[in-house]
Structure 1
Amino acid sequence: MAQTDDERNTDKNFDRFWYKRAAQQYESAVKKGDTSKETLQRLGDAYYFNLDMENAAKWYGELFSKYENELEPIYAFRYIQSLEGTGDYHLAKGLMKIYSEKLNDSTFNVDQLKNNDKLIDALRNTQPQFYITPLSINTPVSDFGAIRYGNHVVFASARDSSVFTSRKYHWNEQPFLNLFIADTTSNGGDLKNVHSFSKSINSKYHEASVAFTKGFDTIYFTRNNYTNSKLKRDAQGANNLKIYRAVLRNNNWKDITELPFSSDEYSVGHPSLSPDGKKLYFTSDMPGTIGGSDIYVVDILSEGNFSEPRNLGENINTSGREMFPFITDKKLYFASEGHLGYGGLDVFEATVTEEGFSKPKNLGLPLNSQLDDFAYMVDENTQRGYVSSNRPGGVGDDDIYSFQRSDEKCMQSIEGTVVNSDTKYPEPNVTVKLYDGEKVLDSTLTSNVGEYRFDMPVNCGHTYNVIAAKESFDTAEKSVETSLEPNFVNEVPLEINHKLIVREGDDLKIKIGLIYFDFDKWNITPRAIESLDTIVNVMKEYPGMVIKIESHTDSRGNDAYNMQLSDKRAKSTRDYILSRGIEPERIESAIGYGESRLLNECANNVPCTEAQHDVNRRSEFIIVKMK
């Protein structure tokens, strides 16, 4: 079918990576009735690539509802990532199970499409090791990629510079990125005195992601393919990223040259130098890349030459994106969406080994979040560093956070009070159990004032269930998600419902079935004893309980006779309860009301069924006091 001019213009904006504008145009097309697979795919993608996971999940959901059996695995992957980005792990986990069965013939290989409940649960229960703090220099636009530069820090930001204040990047409608430098504060946890890093390096397009040699006299940085005031594009019209190198002479950065393995036809970026200065790690989507982008390494040879790039292989790289490598003498840190994570990009570490690198490990909460976490750098001696994230609660798009890593376990405790939901009084002798999934971790009894405390400490950043149970009560359960504050005391109050104590209007009653008396009699029958012994047991359970007894009849028979009969039944009921050891002062009164307090319309001469009359034939045990 021929495209309209509007459709061609929308696709053109998408192909230019102008995702914010394209998303609005595709959404307008859907409202006009275009729900084709291609439109819904691109609408979801436009939001996904612009990190709007809520809208991405919405439109991928529409896409899957219409075309589930026609979609490539990458769309299941993006849908799962979007769901995780909104915190909907339950649905994301369900999709993992569904699509794990469809990957046998697919070359698309990411952990998010593998059905492994144990690994997923283990990841969510990872013990936190990080204390993170947002920097005060963050702005409403993108700030990321902090790297140490002596006693300073260099980072990328889309904050307005003094030169190119009006230029915007249509991917996200923000100003282009430039490099900035800031001083560290005395405690090293924040930055101050931000200013432009270098007029010779910053251009009117993007600069970001830097690496310095040990002496800080050479810089490697990422820039758009922009050389000699010319912006170059590939065969499809896209402008790619390149890594450039510059040297410091007389306090000015000179001799800016692109690295020889850069290309007009693909992107390279995010450089990181090994501590000995002999290897340069970077990100690229060059031919041979396993996923959307992979991590590569080159050897730095003499006279400024480089070896051919080597892909780090499937141990590190997946069919998703791997980005932002940071290499130390001990570990490789990088961001990935392909290894199992919490949503979006997560930071992983892989230990340096003789064979290469160990299996990557997710660094867990709170360093990682349900959105993108990346650009990790650390001082291995102090375990202090910086990470970037677009998580909720930040100042802007991407923000920079400082962190301190600690191997000490973060532990907390759980305690609370259990009360009767009807009486609102503390409930003693309730069994309270602490669960981690299906496993019971600890069990205790409430005190005379309803209080409990588990002896077993619990992990920070973990979800537990607390369940209260007692005979004659319904169980009560509450989920508690522990915070990331060490030694925090989690107060978990619980309310349990007594199966026999109920509130009816303003009255609190012991609710049992009919008290059975023989016809025209008021003496206690064996059937009545069963019910009355239940009343006795409840009153013994609550020694401070005081009740009053009311006996009622239906409207059949003489009114005066019914009044007299019900009163005798009320008093025989009282006498039986007293005979079982209940103190007389705990029964305030025992009165029969005959048919004077009917609960329905079944008065004298009104035709009613037996069931309707049964409603009015009742004995009520009303609680007037609970000590």
Structure 2
Amino acid sequence: MQKIITLLFFFLVLGVGSVIAQKRLLKKADKHYENLAYKDAIGLYEQIVDAGKADFDVYQKLGDSYYYNSDLKNALKSYQKMLSLSKNVPAEYYARTASALKNSNDFEGADKLLKELRELKENDSRAAKLSALPEYLRDITATSGRYSLANIGANSPQADFAPAFYKNELVFSSARGNGNSTETKNKWTGQSYLTLIKAAIMEDGQLYKPEVFSRKLDAQLHESTATFTKDGSTVYFTRNNVEGIGFKTDTTGQVRLKIFRARMDAKGNWRDIEELPFNDDSYSVAHPALSHDETKLYFASDMPGTRGMSDIFKVDINPDGSFGIPANMGSNINTEGRETFPHVTEKGVLYFASDGHLGLGGLDIFATGKVLNNKVINLGTPVNGPADDMTFIIDESTGKGFFASNREGGKGDDDIYTFIESKSLVGNCFGNFQLTVKDDKSNELLAASLVEFKNPEGDIVISNKTDANGMISSNFDCADVLYTINVSKTDYMAKAQDFKASWDETKPSIEIKMRNIAPKIGSDVISILGLDPIFYKLNKTETLDRNKLELDQVVSYLKRYPNVHVKVVSHADSRGRNAYNLSLSKDRSFATAAYLMRNGISEYRLRLDGQGENIILNRCVDNVECEEEEHTRNRRTEFIIVKI
């Protein structure tokens, strides 16, 4: 009996000790979790699971620890167990579990969870998208197959992602380490802190000789996701919120992300590193991307006004380098999930990663913009797949680019892939313009005006005459084409005007005003054509060098109207004797008429007249001191129409 009692006591003590050990283990795991040391937390939570002591809270935190490290396969196991233990589960976990199910190619199960999510939270946009597009996989299939991919040889066993074009190089984020033997590890991932790496881009998209981008920008913590101005003189990049040589936390103990800007000096060194003014210690601002014209900065943030875990924002960059007020990109782009890693192309296509739009699992890459009629389009396979796919960049002029993914078959955690796009996502732009031709003085609508559009190759792509209301309308290709519009009409000066078609405006209204040049008795051809006056050198019969163009246009006018006769009336300034000036003006009239005759105008259509200093246009009469430019205005010739 005594042996039995002793044995029972032994098991009792053992049981009590086990409970105490489990509580200590859970407390330690929770502390790692609260400190965002997810890799350490995973190991301890798994011990609790193996001991059969896990509850709802353990499975939730274990699932989150895997989820935040993009391990959706293991996150799924924990989330499914969590859902089986309670029906009172926060709505967000239905979406996360659905994403993890897609990672395992269980789209039916994922869609089922999203439908349940809509019952719990009717206004959740992720569930609403599924209801609106139940055949979304068919749409994704339609956009698939447009890329050929290759894993770059420069990837490391650690995380490599966030490529950015920089001159002839690629700059990307890497956890491979910065070569410092004393560097610490990131508790979230268990890897080295992210460093910006650069490498030359080879013709085949592979990278040559990766090395640390800049020691000046390396703060021994996270430096990531860079974007550069086209001249390479300014960089925007993401960095942890730092204070001195360490992290700075918010009130909840989290270390937030901030965007910094640096400029290159004349010696090629990065300097003037500064925080952007809309950073804040209480939220993250990260992953910058410049618009092509460098007037806007796009970024991801969970700042106030964010719909989900992170949203895409944009902010104006003013000419003086200051910034406007950040604006959320709206519900068409942002969801209750994660929208992040923006990239903007020359055509204005916004690429971004999201797990809130309908996709193939984890983060997928999407595109939107005016050139896509603001539709949010999944890029499809092979760019997107069951894993996390993100940080997409492309050079639209070559169709070449890069993105990152943690898909199976890679070399490390996240790998960078190079690609060639065989078919653009951006299709044709079909627009319709309305063009009106008017008289430039009376605003009279000019019917029967011939309008021609020429493309950059000089081909006439549109040719038509205006109707009774002086208008034409026509369909046209509006995909950023620079057209030359030529308009002609009897008794009007031909007009050539450039017109830049744009995806931003597919239904432009164009107005062209034309100058009436019909000959009228007593009118000066120079005035009719709106030309600069014909001036002469001092005491010379030669016109100023700049007037040859005007003389040639007078010749063209007289050839256009072969029945017009003109009187070539020349003048002199008031300096010199009257008789000399009269003789000089007659010589000028003769010399000018001779130029017209040499260029094909019959002498029978020309009359000569020298007025000397009889008609002075300004104050510069005899004995008045004037500037040379004032005297020049009086040394002139007019072509007065005397017969039509």
TM-score range, shorter chain: 0.5 to 0.7
- Is contact 1:278-1:300 (8 Å) kept? yes
CA shift at 1:350, angstroms?
A: 0.4
CA shift at 1:230, angstroms?
A: 4.2
Question: Residue 120 of structure 2 aligns to a residue in which SS?
Answer: coil
CA distance in structure 1 between the partners assigned to 2:126 and 2:105 by the alignment = 23
Quickly say closer, same or farther: Cα 1:408–1:247, change in 2 above 3 A. closer
Question: Residue 370 of structure 2 aligns to a residue in which SS?
Answer: strand
Structure 2 counterpart of 1:74, from 67, 92, 98: 92
Structure 1 counterpart of 2:408, from 392, 395, 401: 392
Q: Does 1:296 align with 2:328?
A: no
Q: Which residue of 2 aligns with 1:350?
A: 368
- Is contact 2:126-2:357 (8 Å) kept? no
Q: Which amino acid aligns with 2:251?
A: A
Quickly say closer, same or farther: Cα 1:154–1:111, change in 2 above 3 A. farther
CA distance in structure 2 between the partners assigned to 1:150 and 1:130 by the alignment = 24
Question: Residue 227 of structure 2 aligns to a residue in which SS?
Answer: strand
- Is contact 1:208-1:223 (8 Å) kept? yes
Question: Residue 94 of structure 1 aligns to a residue in which SS?
Answer: helix
Quickly say closer, same or farther: Cα 1:119–1:201, change in 2 above 3 A. same
Q: Which amino acid aligns with 2:354?
A: S
CA shift at 1:229, angstroms?
A: 2.8
CA distance in structure 2 between the partners assigned to 1:21 and 1:325 by the alignment = 31
Bigger drift between 188-197 and 312-321 goes to 188-197
- Is contact 1:332-1:352 (8 Å) kept? no
Paired residues for 1:38-187 under 5 Å: 38-67=57-86, 69-104=87-122, 107=124, 109=126, 114=131, 116-124=133-141, 126-164=143-181, 166-185=183-202, 187=203
Structure 2 counterpart of 1:29, from 39, 45, 48: 48
- Is contact 1:329-1:352 (8 Å) kept? no
Quickly say closer, same or farther: Cα 1:328–1:122, change in 2 above 3 A. closer
Paired residues for 1:446-525 under 5 Å: none
- Is contact 1:112-1:338 (8 Å) kept? no
Q: Which residue of 1 aligns with 2:231?
A: 215
Q: Does 1:232 align with 2:248?
A: yes
Quickly say closer, same or farther: Cα 1:109–1:83, change in 2 above 3 A. closer
User: After superposition, what is the alpha-carbon deviation per residue over 1:226-246, rounded to whole angstroms, capped at 9, x for unaligned?
Assistant: 254342110011111100011
User: After superposition, what is the alpha-carbon deviation per residue over 1:146-177, rounded to whole angstroms, capped at 9, x for unaligned?
Assistant: 11111111111111222255411111111111
Question: Residue 303 of structure 1 aligns to a residue in which SS?
Answer: coil
CA distance in structure 1 between the partners assigned to 2:220 and 2:381 by the alignment = 37
- Is contact 2:160-2:414 (8 Å) kept? yes
CA shift at 1:5, angstroms?
A: 4.1
Q: Which residue of 1 aligns with 2:281?
A: 264
Q: Which amino acid aligns with 1:245?
A: R
CA RMSD of aligned residues (A): 2.3
Q: Which residue of 2 aligns with 1:434?
A: none
- Is contact 1:157-1:178 (8 Å) kept? yes
- Is contact 2:353-2:391 (8 Å) kept? yes
CA distance in structure 2 between the partners assigned to 1:300 and 1:11 by the alignment = 43
Give the alignment's TM-score, normalised by structure 1.
Answer: 0.62
CA shift at 1:369, angstroms?
A: 1.1
Unaligned runs of 5+ in 1: 410-627
Q: Which residue of 1 aligns with 2:345?
A: 328
CA shift at 1:114, angstroms?
A: 4.3
- Is contact 2:250-2:281 (8 Å) kept? yes
Structure 2 counterpart of 1:279, from 296, 300, 306: 296
CA shift at 1:84, angstroms?
A: 1.1
Q: Which residue of 2 aligns with 1:16?
A: 35
Structure 2 counterpart of 1:365, from 360, 371, 381: 381
User: After superposition, what is the alpha-carbon deviation per residue over 1:296-351, rounded to whole angstroms, capped at 9, x for unaligned?
Assistant: 01111143211111000100100000000001232011001100000011111102
Quickly say closer, same or farther: Cα 1:243–1:112, change in 2 above 3 A. same
Which entry has the higher C-alpha Rg, 1 or 2? 2
User: After superposition, what is the alpha-carbon deviation per residue over 1:561-604, rounded to whole angstroms, capped at 9, x for unaligned?
Assistant: xxxxxxxxxxxxxxxxxxxxxxxxxxxxxxxxxxxxxxxxxxxx
CA distance in structure 2 between the partners assigned to 1:245 and 1:188 by the alignment = 31
Structure 1 counterpart of 2:421, from 402, 405, 410: 405
- Is contact 1:326-1:377 (8 Å) kept? yes
Q: Which residue of 1 aligns with 2:208?
A: 192
Question: Residue 155 of structure 1 aligns to a residue in which SS?
Answer: strand
Q: Which amino acid aligns with 1:76?
A: Y
CA shift at 1:113, angstroms?
A: 6.0
Quickly say closer, same or farther: Cα 1:165–1:194, change in 2 above 3 A. farther
- Is contact 2:147-2:422 (8 Å) kept? yes
- Is contact 2:114-2:127 (8 Å) kept? no
CA distance in structure 2 between the partners assigned to 1:73 and 1:42 by the alignment = 16
Question: Residue 304 of structure 1 aligns to a residue in which SS?
Answer: coil
- Is contact 1:243-1:271 (8 Å) kept? yes
Q: Which amino acid aligns with 2:402?
A: Y
CA distance in structure 2 between the partners assigned to 1:252 and 1:123 by the alignment = 45
CA distance in structure 1 between the partners assigned to 2:227 and 2:333 by the alignment = 21
CA shift at 1:225, angstroms?
A: 0.8
Quickly say closer, same or farther: Cα 1:326–1:381, change in 2 above 3 A. same
CA distance in structure 1 between the partners assigned to 2:302 and 2:373 by the alignment = 21
Q: Which residue of 1 aligns with 2:334?
A: 317
CA distance in structure 2 between the partners assigned to 1:351 and 1:37 by the alignment = 42
CA distance in structure 2 between the partners assigned to 1:347 and 1:202 by the alignment = 29
CA distance in structure 1 between the partners assigned to 2:186 and 2:373 by the alignment = 37
Q: Which amino acid aligns with 1:170?
A: K
Quickly say closer, same or farther: Cα 1:164–1:333, change in 2 above 3 A. farther
Q: Which residue of 2 aligns with 1:340?
A: 358
User: After superposition, what is the alpha-carbon deviation per residue over 1:246-286, rounded to whole angstroms, capped at 9, x for unaligned?
Assistant: 10011110011111101111111100011111100001011
Quickly say closer, same or farther: Cα 1:8–1:206, change in 2 above 3 A. same
Question: Residue 117 of structure 1 aligns to a residue in which SS?
Answer: coil
Give the alignment's TM-score, normalised by structure 2.
Answer: 0.60
Runs of 4+, deviation exceeding 6 Å: none
- Is contact 2:126-2:358 (8 Å) kept? no
CA distance in structure 1 between the partners assigned to 2:381 and 2:42 by the alignment = 31
Paired residues for 1:367-446 under 5 Å: 367-407=383-423
Q: Which amino acid aligns with 1:201?
A: L
Q: Which residue of 1 aligns with 2:497?
A: none
CA shift at 1:53, angstroms?
A: 1.6
Quickly say closer, same or farther: Cα 1:146–1:127, change in 2 above 3 A. closer
Q: Does 1:244 align with 2:260?
A: yes
Quickly say closer, same or farther: Cα 1:114–1:59, change in 2 above 3 A. farther
CA distance in structure 2 between the partners assigned to 1:138 and 1:191 by the alignment = 9
Q: Which residue of 2 aligns with 1:521?
A: none
Unaligned runs of 5+ in 2: 1-18, 426-644
- Is contact 2:233-2:263 (8 Å) kept? yes
Q: Which amino acid aligns with 2:396?
A: E
User: After superposition, what is the alpha-carbon deviation per residue over 1:426-468, rounded to whole angstroms, capped at 9, x for unaligned?
Assistant: xxxxxxxxxxxxxxxxxxxxxxxxxxxxxxxxxxxxxxxxxxx
Bigger drift between 400-409 and 37-46 goes to 400-409
CA distance in structure 2 between the partners assigned to 1:225 and 1:75 by the alignment = 29
- Is contact 2:33-2:65 (8 Å) kept? yes
- Is contact 1:207-1:223 (8 Å) kept? yes
